Amino acid sequence: MANLLFYLFAALTVGFALAVVFNKNTVNAALCLLLSLIGVAGIFALLDALLLSVLLILVYAGAVVALFLFIVMLLNPQAVPQKPYKKISMAAGAIAAALLGLGIWSLVAHGQLSTAPATADFEAGLKDYGAKLFTTYLLPVEVVGFLLLVAMLGVIVLSKKFEVQEDGK
């Protein structure tokens, strides 16, 4: 049963990740990113990493995707005409895909793909991770959150259209 759920979440994650890349509508791409992140959270839950699963849902799926949606809707990307892909971009993408496929094939052929460690290792590591996150690294996490807030406000201010008023002299 666990293998079936893993394959289901993996297919969900990969399918929606590909939809993010190939979707021309940015709002739909952001929603596909949300569904892909939910698939990753499901895989974390299967690995008994419940803290990482919940943090992924709260932070990335909740905050970052919502931020993307607000910025995308604010900037109105439909007003900008879409340029067709150039041949060099398509060639670079094909070369990158071929190199990625070659790397995966090489790992599989040499048997260097390892299985996941036991769940006891995950539980011990997860407790240490959570303790360090909320004690030692609390200030950097809050600083990053503040920087995301400043970046969001900056995008809102920069994207707002101001009307130029002429002096009536």
Residue 109 shares a structural domain with residue 42: no
d(CA 2, CA 13): 16
Residue 54 shares a structural domain with residue 119: yes
Residue 13 shares a structural domain with residue 40: yes
Residue 87 shares a structural domain with residue 7: no
Tell me which of 97 and 163 has the higher pLDDT: 97
Report yes or no on 165 lying in a domain. Answer: no
CATH code, domain with 62: 1.20.120.1200
Structural domain count of the chain: 2
Joined together, the tokens standing for residue 62 give 């909740």
pLDDT at 159 over 60: yes
pLDDT tens per residue, range 110-123? 776 655 555 555 55
Q: For 52-69, b where at least 16 C-beta lie within 10 A, e where not — what string?
A: bbebbbeebbeeebebbb
Residue 123 shares a structural domain with residue 109: no
The pTM assigned to this predicted structure is: 0.55
Residue 42 shares a structural domain with residue 14: yes
Give start and end residues of each alpha helix (H) in 25-159: 26-46, 50-55, 65-75, 87-109, 119-134, 138-159
What's the domain range around 104? 83-114
Residue 42 shares a structural domain with residue 122: yes
Residue 75 shares a structural domain with residue 89: no
Report yes or no on 28 lying in a domain. Answer: yes
Residue 75 shares a structural domain with residue 98: no
Q: How far is CA 109 from CA 42, 96, 98, 104, in A?
A: 29, 20, 16, 9
pLDDT tens per residue, range 15-59? 999 998 888 887 788 888 889 989 999 999 898 888 888 888 888
Q: How far is CA 102 from CA 15, 93, 95, 115, in A?
A: 21, 14, 10, 20
Residue 17 shares a structural domain with residue 94: no
How remote is the C-alpha of 41 from its chain's centroid? 12
